[in-house]
Amino acid sequence: IIDVDTSQGANVSSNAPTLMAPHRIFFVECSVGGVLGGSLTGILHLLDRMDRRRFEPALVLFESKKVIARLQAKGVRVHVLPPLPEPLPDGDRGRPARAVRRVQELATVVLPRARALTRLFKREQPSAVYLANGVTANLDALIAAARCGLPIVSHEKGFRRIGPFERFMSRWVDTCIGMTDEVTAHVRNAGVQAHRFLTIYDGINCSEFAPGGRSAIRQAFGIPAAAPVVGIVGHLQRWKGQHVVVEAVAQARRQIPDLYCLIVGGVHRRGGEYAAELRARIAAE
């Protein structure tokens, strides 16, 4: 609220509108590996369209990103957390081993990150915290925001496993946003206890994706003009399922021998071995 000095005889009407400072919203995005993935891309589109008279956005990252300078030039404050332990690598997927691994991860990764975020939230006093990666990947930020008594919005964009600790902490989530109705149903059925559930589709500026360039792409990859083409777009990571597409295309080519497939996406830092497996499987055809 803006204070008005009346000591100089200013005539202030009691009916004058009260001017409020914009609400400070902290967006927490936890991706690492130098990638610019869907969760961060969604935030960038949102930041460009926020009403700065009502909201003051800030971004919290777990590593430095190339977009930081552009955001700062637009008046967005960016906080990069100091390096902390990374999630433990996948091991045995059996239930007992998974439970032990999760407890270790909570103690060595999640809680140290939660403490760092708690210090940041207490210092900066945001009005609300937005979890860009959902209750599982952003569990540290969920814990920190709950400790600070801050309103929490969790944006769920996939079908990640939601464990018992995530279900317990989700009772502090004010609004859970699903990217699709299927994602919203998934988190509900998984036991997320948010006070409200919404489905909000990602906004896309269609003018940025004007049709054209098909012939140039076919020429660049040596694909005949009449050949059918399928594809998948996304960073190369096992959970995204590019290997499923490779196997499906291998089977489809038995009946459609001129079928081509384009796998489009960068190699995530943790996806190097997976990318090598994909190339070996494709070469075996």
- The tens digit of pLDDT for each residue in 106-129 reads 888 889 999 999 999 999 999 999
- Cα angle for residues 48, 53, 55 (degrees, 5° grid): 65
Model confidence, pTM: 0.77
Examine the pLDDT at 139 and tell me if it is beyond 70.
Answer: yes
In the predicted model, is pLDDT for residue 222 greater than 80? yes
Collect all residues with Cβ–Cβ distance below 8 Å to 94 and sequence separation of at least 6. none
Cα–Cα distance for residue pair 94/78, rounded to 1 Å = 39
How high is the pLDDT of residue 9?
Answer: 40
The two three-digit tokens of residue 223, written as one number? 């694909």
Choice between 270 and 197, residue whose per-residue pLDDT is larger: 197
Secondary-structure breakdown of the chain: helix, strand, coil percentages, each rounded to the nearest 5: 40, 15, 40
Predicted pLDDT of residue 265:
86
The pLDDT tens digits of the residues spanning 140-176 come to 999 999 999 999 999 999 888 899 999 999 999 999 9
15-24, 104-113, 198-207: least confident range: 15-24
Average pLDDT over residues 235-239: 83
Measured distance CA(39)–CA(44) in Å, rounded: 9
**Does position 7 have pLDDT exceeding 70, yes or no?**
no
The candidate with the shortest Cα–Cα distance to 40, out of 131, 136, 150, is 131
For residue 4, pLDDT beyond 50: no
Q: Over the stretch 47-80, which tens digit does the pLDDT of each residue have? A: 888 999 999 999 999 888 888 998 999 999 999 9
